[in-house]
Amino acid sequence: MDDLLTTMRALAADGLFSAADARACGLDRRLLAEAAARGEIERLARGQYLVSPAPDLRELHRSRSIAVVDGLERTGLSHDSGLVVRGLPTFAADLSRVHVTSTRRRKRVPPHVHHWVRRSVVLDEVVVGSTTVPALPVADCVVQVGLLRGGEAALVPADAAIREGSLTVDDLSAALDLVVGHRGVRSLRQMLAWADGRHETPGETRTGVCLHRLGLAYTPQVWIGQDRVDALLDDEPVVVEFDGALKYMDQDALVAEKIREDRIRSRGYGFVRLMWADLYDLGLVAARVRRAIDALHRRS
């Protein structure tokens, strides 16, 4: 059994190998089925296998996406799949299905694949390890996700892509122009106008969405003395920080963060701290910001 697993690992590129490669090395369908039953490999798509379990859902989706699109003509990964394969973050995505887009509909599509059809498709060649994968441009994937699930789902990867330099505001505008007339395009365009590569995490992006929706102008990533803060309101000296993992930090980190907050407050700034759950309650965010502003006014 160890020799069999060693052979399959030797076949694999980035963890993936095909049934045809396996047959060429004397591994028939029965042996592959037995290896799958033991959990040594996983069948990702017709004739495509993953040698060892992926470490997380995103990695599994990435491997499955590469396997699904392999050998398909004029077809590229799209929507969330086109983002995941590039290492970009997603928000509220269903990664149980791979999304592909092409210019013609296919008769047989596996249940874990969502096949989309467009009149014309431009494909990028995305390098993933030692593999080159066809995918729609980043801007197209972002817009597709926005039309499917709403503006925040598009803004999170858009911010990350702008920050890393794989997307520009002009790219987004051009991709939006291609889908004029689709339902939801106007509101999506309005939200993507908030795309700002200075946000460093999806949580910071979503914090910015809350501030925008409350009509609060702000500047991301501002230095206050020796401390850089996530957001500073433009019209009031109030800092807004996102701490998605704060409660998981060790005690020393918590103490250091409290010292940092006190240092910022000592310079005359109000301070609002938000976590993931808070971002789903716009009224709560508004109340916390209002309290911080009122406290400053009372002190002055």
| pLDDT (0 to 100) of residue 52 | 61
Quote the pLDDT of residue 256.
83
In the chain, the largest separation of any two C-alpha atoms, in whole Å, equals 81
| Tens of pLDDT, residues 5-57 | 566 556 555 556 777 777 777 777 788 777 777 767 777 667 777 776 555 77
Cβ(34)–Cβ(49) below 8 Å: no
For position 278, what pLDDT does the model report? Answer: 87
Q: Give Cβ neighbours of residue 257 (< 8 Å, ≥ 6 apart).
A: 243, 246, 249
**Can you say how many angstroms the Cα of residue 223 is from the centroid of all Cα atoms in its chain?**
27
Taking the mean position of all CA atoms in its chain, how far away is CA 239? Answer: 26
Model pLDDT, residue 5: 59
Low-confidence ranges of the chain (pLDDT < 50): 1, 247-248
Query: What is the pLDDT, as a whole number, of residue 92?
Result: 83
Q: What is the pTM of this model?
A: 0.79
How high is the pLDDT of residue 1?
46
Measure the CA–CA gap between 292 and 239, rounded to whole angstroms: 9
